[in-house]
Amino acid sequence: MIRKAVFPAAGFGTRFLPATKASPKEMLPLVDMPLIQHGVEEAKASGVRDMIIVTGRGKNAIEDHFDVSFELEALLEKKGDGKLLAQVRQVTDGADFFYVRQNLPLGLGHAVLRSMDLVGQEPFGVILSDDVIDAPVPVLKQMIAAYERYSAGAVLAIQKVPKDAVHRYGIIKGKKIGDGAYEVSDMVEKPRPEKAPSDLAIIGRYILPPSIFHALSSTKPGAGGEIQLTDAIRSLIGKERVIGFEFDGVRYDAGTKLGFQMANIAFALKDPEIGPGLQAFLRKERLA
């Protein structure tokens, strides 16, 4: 039902400088897989086929990553390294990749608007690869189920956050209507704590109707002087049913250095190849 997903990936990644001076932050690895591939794998596992990546200058490594590398595959085949070959093929298998440039840094809403022609007239997913979610069922798949169950126009992943963190998120006002689902009646981007309508924050997974593009094209710059996706979705309330959905899974804010390191440690500890070694090291050095 949801065949396309949009991946905004044009940001400068200033929080990770100097690492991101000449390489995209979306290519920073969690153990051995770039952040953006985690999002792409989640989309594939949720039934999405078309990956629409919104890039910018200096992001060529993303296009190369999601392309077949004949030389590398030939080398691994010759070496008979079936395991690595399978991992390399997994990157490009089961999906088609499309690119569009966001040539001005006008915000998340503007990035999504750039995907309008590639998305066309159908509902689609948006995945922010900064938000890494370790979930028993892929989060986008959980959201698609909620989208169908509630005949929604839009579904937003949400999670409770501490009061002193609300200024970093889009915050919803909603009424609980079922298992983790809220009927959204209002939302505000990056409110001050005293202005926040709740402690339910939007996390970087969305299912949106094609009408969002019209809304985005008339959305004025909001918080931080940027065209905010939150403001455009807010303008759909009343015309489309907007559902906030508390997903099942652990979310890491890999857009910050601390969250990125937490995600790396958590994923490394779960990795059968390096997990036991890392555990033993942390214990031996009394680091944990």
Distance of alpha carbon 37 from alpha carbon 143, whole angstroms: 19
Segment holding 55, helix H or strand E: strand 50-55
Rule CB under 6 A: say whether 204 interacts with ligand G1P: yes
Rule CB under 6 A: say whether 182 interacts with ligand G1P: no
CA distances from 187 to 113, 123, 136 (A): 19, 21, 28
Distance of alpha carbon 190 from alpha carbon 251, whole angstroms: 19
Q: Which of 230, 236, 244, 245 binds ligand G1P (CB under 6 A)?
A: 230
CA distances from 262 to 133, 149, 169, 200, 259 (A): 12, 34, 20, 22, 5
State the minimum distance, in angstroms, from the CB of residue 274 to ligand G1P. 28
State the minimum distance, in angstroms, from the CB of residue 156 to ligand G1P. 9
Segment holding 284, helix H or strand E: helix 275-284
Q: Which of 27, 48, 62, 128 binds ligand G1P (CB under 6 A)?
A: 128
The residue number with the shortest CB distance to ligand G1P is: 170
- Residue length of the chain: 288
Q: Which of 126, 184, 196, 201 binds ligand G1P (CB under 6 A)?
A: 201
201 and 182 Cβ atoms separated by less than 8 Å: no
Segment near ligand G1P (CB under 6 A); pick from 94-102, 172-180, 195-203, 271-279: 195-203
State the minimum distance, in angstroms, from the CB of residue 230 to ligand G1P. 5
Number of residues that bind ligand G1P (CB under 6 A): 14
Could you list the residues that contact ligand G1P (CB under 6 A)?
A: 108, 128, 131, 169-170, 189, 201-204, 228-230, 255
